[in-house]
Amino acid sequence: MDPVTIIAAISILTAGLATSIGCMAPALGEGRSVATALTALAQQPDASATITRTLFVGLAMIESTAIYSFVVSMILIFANPFWNHVIEKTAGQ
Q: Residue 30: what pLDDT?
A: 94
Give per-residue pLDDT as tens, 3-29: 778 888 888 898 899 899 999 999 999
Helix axis angle, 82-91 to 3-43, nearest 10°: 170
Give the domains, in start order, of the chain with CATH numbers: 3-80 (1.20.20.10)
Kindly report whether the global pTM for this prediction surpasses the value 0.85. Answer: no
Please name which of 73, 58, 91 lies closest in space to residue 14, comparing C-alpha atoms: 73
Please name which of 66, 59, 37, 61 lies closest in space to residue 49, comparing C-alpha atoms: 37
Using pLDDT thresholds of 50, 70 and 90, give the confidence band for residue 92: low
Using pLDDT thresholds of 50, 70 and 90, give the confidence band for residue 43: very high
Give per-residue pLDDT as tens, 50-66: 999 999 999 999 999 99
